[in-house]
């Protein structure tokens, strides 16, 4: 499609034709269309404008990003009217983060505080959560000064009747890891340490956070190389949500703490099915002689399921560890099928 034709379509009264033009440019990812995409960014159709912002994410240079920042600020002045679903600003926030465009820091700080209640299907709905999430990620990517304060507020923002904010809080936890700042460990530690509360009426413990967000916080703590990560993660190994407990063991393995292998070995008898496989995979991921010794000891387990899983994950072990494990399974596995399969693997 020629440039003149694209310009004609963008000027058309037909929304369909304008969409056709911007979608063509999205697919092309050509910086030569940057001026046309900037024009489309002001389209009266928010769908056209958001697609233009998506395309600009790939091709925008410094001058284009400055114009996008100005547009972001303009839309934010009357967000409900100018960007009803926050989609245009959310796409621009993603662009600012991708290009580490620090000149947009103040705009992103406005975006991360934007709560925009609009009707969705006739029901009041917070359409700003996606925008806040993208602004948090962008601030984390560009390691903006004082970003941790703004991002931390999102991490503790509760759900309400208008919106489930799990994805937003997951984004906040990930954004804290992106800052690469040890100070981000403070809000992450608080979220992990105080994720429950006692019901004043019945005295039972209730969860204040979802497993998905807690998992993201665990990953962030490990990514930030917290020296006390094991101390923080260990309480989760007895969590009643066994999948969450298994995930905690995966993170413990990633810390490469001297006590990690023993901790995982002792956990094996507490798990079944997929969580058990996760724990054994975590143990196999620790490349130490101690971890290898524990795996060999587990080949003699009286639980057939343990042998079945070890056989299934043997390819995830270092080659020398895998061969030793197969030899031991062929000799000691309680399941005849596992012994035969291990022997067949050894014979090649």
Each residue's pLDDT tens digit, 286-343: 888 898 899 999 999 999 999 999 999 988 888 878 888 999 999 989 999 999 999 9
- Element counts in the chain: helices (H) and strands (E): 21, 4
Owner of token pair 């006692």: 198
List, for residues 108-125, the tens digit of each pLDDT value.
999 999 999 887 777 788
In this predicted structure, what is the pLDDT of residue 43?
94
What is the Cα–Cα distance from 332 to 299, expressed in whole angstroms?
Answer: 6
Name the architecture of domain 1-59.
Answer: Alpha Horseshoe (1.25)
Instruction: Retrieve residue 124's tokens.
Output: 């009041």
Residues of the chain with pLDDT under 50: none
Instruction: Retrieve residue 211's tokens.
Output: 């497993």
What is the Cα–Cα distance from 129 to 171, expressed in whole angstroms?
Answer: 10
In this predicted structure, what is the pLDDT of residue 161?
61
Angle between the N-to-C axes of helices 319-332 and 336-347, in degrees from 0 to 180, rounded to the nearest 10: 140
End-to-end alpha carbon distance in the chain: 56
What is the Cα–Cα distance from 147 to 291, expressed in whole angstroms?
Answer: 39
Pairing of strands 123-126, 205-207: unpaired
In this predicted structure, what is the pLDDT of residue 309?
95
> How many C-beta atoms surround the C-beta of residue 345 within 10 A?
17
In this predicted structure, what is the pLDDT of residue 52?
95
| Residues 250, 259, 225, 320, CA torsion sign | negative
In this predicted structure, what is the pLDDT of residue 162?
61
Of 297, 263, 344, 270, the residue nearest 310 (C-alpha): 297
Owner of token pair 């600003």: 89
In this predicted structure, what is the pLDDT of residue 212?
96
Provide the CB-side half-sphere exposure for 294 (13 A, CA): 24
What is the Cα–Cα distance from 300 to 233, expressed in whole angstroms?
Answer: 29
Instruction: Retrieve residue 310's tokens.
Output: 């070890």
Residue 197: DSSP 8-state: E
Predicted TM-score (pTM) of the model is 0.87
In this predicted structure, what is the pLDDT of residue 193?
95
Q: Where are the beta strands (DSSP E) in 36-144?
A: 117-120, 123-126
Residues 6+ apart with CB under 8 A from 169: 154, 155, 157, 209, 210, 213, 216
Q: Is 259 helix (H, G, I), strand (E, B) or coil?
A: coil
Q: Is 207 helix (H, G, I), strand (E, B) or coil?
A: strand
CB-CB contact of 127 with 116 (8 Å)? yes
Q: Following DSSP, what letter does each residue of 141-179 receive, concatenated?
A: HTT-TTHHHHHHHHHTPPPBTTB--HHHHHHHHHHHHHT
Burial of 121 (0-12, 13-18, 19+ CB in 10 A): exposed
């Amino acid at each position: 499609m020629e440039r003149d034709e694209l310009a004609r379509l963008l000027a058309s009264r037909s929304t369909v034709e304008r969409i056709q033009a911007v979608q063509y440019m999205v697919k092309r990812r050509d910086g030569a269309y940057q001026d046309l995409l900037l024009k489309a960014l002001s389209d009266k159709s928010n769908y056209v404008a958001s697609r233009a912002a998506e395309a600009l994410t790939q091709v925008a240079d410094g001058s284009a990003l400055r114009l996008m920042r100005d547009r972001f600020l303009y839309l934010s002045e009357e967000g409900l009217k100018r960007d009803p679903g926050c989609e245009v600003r959310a796409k621009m926030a993603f662009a600012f983060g991708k290009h580490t465009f620090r000149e947009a820091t103040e705009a992103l700080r406005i975006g991360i505080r934007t709560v925009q209640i609009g009707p969705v299907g006739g029901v009041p709905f917070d359409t700003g959560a996606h925008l806040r999430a993208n602004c948090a990620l962008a601030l984390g990517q560009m390691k903006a000064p004082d970003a941790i304060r703004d991002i931390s507020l999102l991490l503790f923002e509760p759900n309400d009747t208008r919106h489930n904010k799990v994805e937003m809080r997951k984004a906040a936890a990930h954004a804290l890891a992106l800052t690469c700042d040890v100070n981000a460990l403070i809000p992450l530690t608080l979220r992990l340490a105080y994720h429950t509360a006692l019901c004043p009426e019945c005295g039972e413990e209730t969860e204040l956070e979802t497993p998905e967000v807690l998992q993201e916080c665990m990953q962030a703590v490990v990514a930030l190389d917290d020296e006390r990560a094991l101390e923080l993660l260990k309480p989760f190994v007895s969590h009643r949500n066994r999948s969450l407990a298994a995930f905690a063991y995966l993170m413990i393995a990633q810390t490469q703490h001297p006590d990690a292998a023993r901790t995982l070995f002792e956990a094996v008898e507490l798990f079944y099915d997929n969580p058990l496989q996760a724990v054994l995979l975590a143990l196999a991921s620790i490349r130490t002689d101690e971890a290898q010794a524990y795996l060999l000891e587990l080949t003699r387990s009286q639980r057939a399921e343990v042998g079945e899983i070890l056989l299934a994950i043997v390819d995830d072990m270092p080659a020398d560890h895998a061969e030793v494990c197969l030899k031991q399974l062929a000799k000691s596995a309680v399941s005849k099928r596992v012994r035969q399969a291990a022997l067949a693997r050894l014979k090649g």
